[in-house]
A and B are shown apart, each in its own frame.
Chain A
Amino acid sequence: MFKKRIIAVLILKGGRIVQSVGFRRYLPVGTIEVCAQSLNRWGIDEIILLDIEATSQGRKPDLNAVRALSRNCFVPITAGGGISDLNDITRAIHSGADKICINRAALDRPELIREGAKAFGKQCLVVAMDVFRGVNGKTEVMTGNGRAGTGKDPVRWAKEAEECGAGELLVQAVHRDGAKQGYDVALLKEIAQAVSIPVIGLGGAGHPAHFLEAFTQTEICAAAAGNYFHFTEHSPVVTKAYLAQHGVNVRMDTENTYAEASFDEQGRVAKYPSEYLQRLRFIKVHEEKL
């Protein structure tokens, strides 16, 4: 049984990392360096950097951001936003990205997936899709920052992307973006069953239980979140501690594993009993150093 991955999505807008709500409202978080260093220390498994303005502004991906990210963390990095040809893929990889995420370009020209996979191996190509579920429950693949419909069925598009050589699929529920209501489990279940490559779920995480729900009810290999990880210390490892307590196999390599933590209703670490805190006074924790 492989370990489930917990992935942080950093959204880049105007040179800053921001939170996104419904693909429409944005809240500044901070610089890319600080976000990367914190997530790296707090036990994140991977980081996805999405430059959400590149495609709409018609410019190339911000490679300086990729470089800054790769210098500040030693976990895998996926770069996305503005990648439209093989040259962009090559340059992003040479800037320190391990994987490339394409969304619009794959919709416009699925051949690009094949070209990228041929040059860099399919494990390098992550195809992202923005999916909207309307009030009637029907799902559709969206484009243009989740604003315009493409008429494509998510499952069919997922299979097509897999056939073209995609290594992973990043499935984002537009209607859950920033909503903190949990992942669109039905959508993730349907897509993860239809393809044999790893599926990453995104959109809606607001509580560790949402990750648990996604991992136990669907076959996704990784769960990603953006806003959820910001403004809370140790958020990745706390989430993993919750998952581990519920029997999910996750990577635990940080000093503090929160193995004895309990959680309150909001999913935050509850206050430890005073006997436990007393005991802690006499335990010396050695930080793992190089």
Chain B
Amino acid sequence: MNKAAFYDLDGTLLSCNLVTMQAYYARNHRSVLKSAYQFTKVLVSVPLFFGLDLYSRSLFNIFSFRAYRGMHRDRLIGLADDLFEVTLKPSIFPQAETLIDTTRELGYRNVLVTGTLDFQVRPIALHFGIDEIICNRLEFKNHIATGRVLPPLLAENEKARSIREYAAEENIDLTQSCAFSDSSADLPMLSAVGQPVATNPTRRLRRVAVEKNWPILELRETSTNFPPFLSVAKVH
């Protein structure tokens, strides 16, 4: 039986701030004038997004994908590398790469399980050398984004379901596998594996982790102690 390491992305390995990503697309419009207009629109909408996030997470998600409405798929794919360089790469946590290398050396198959969109995940996965991705996809009509996500929307229970399905297909023992996430929304995914690790946990997740005696990992700091089942490898 193989074992796998499942990684959440946003907040776990890096902080991909939605507003900076939207601002990026606005700034890089085809025409300079339109860029300025779009950028102002994003600036105006910042407080709105902030309020929405406080009010309801799922509404926030729906609105955040709506921001892609009307964008051409070619442009989303064509700008993905630049988006990564500009907004994502600087926000990777200092210990993220070490962690991923460690799990790889220990024989885990690294898999990204994330709600982020496929074209944005690609350069990140290449950067970390992760070969397998489970992620969301935008819906397109005639190459233009409709602003909706193709079902099933990858979040909460759906993440747990998809890793179970993956494990069944790829002959992976979930009890031997580990998962990393920062948010209590990923509790189903964390509970599905034998070695869950609360990584840069939010307050709620920290509480649950302490209760269930799960290891807690801080990747944001420049030096951190990996949980025992990972640090074994370092001795070898």
A binds B: no
Residues of A within 8 A of B (CB): none
B: residues with CB less than 8 A from A are none
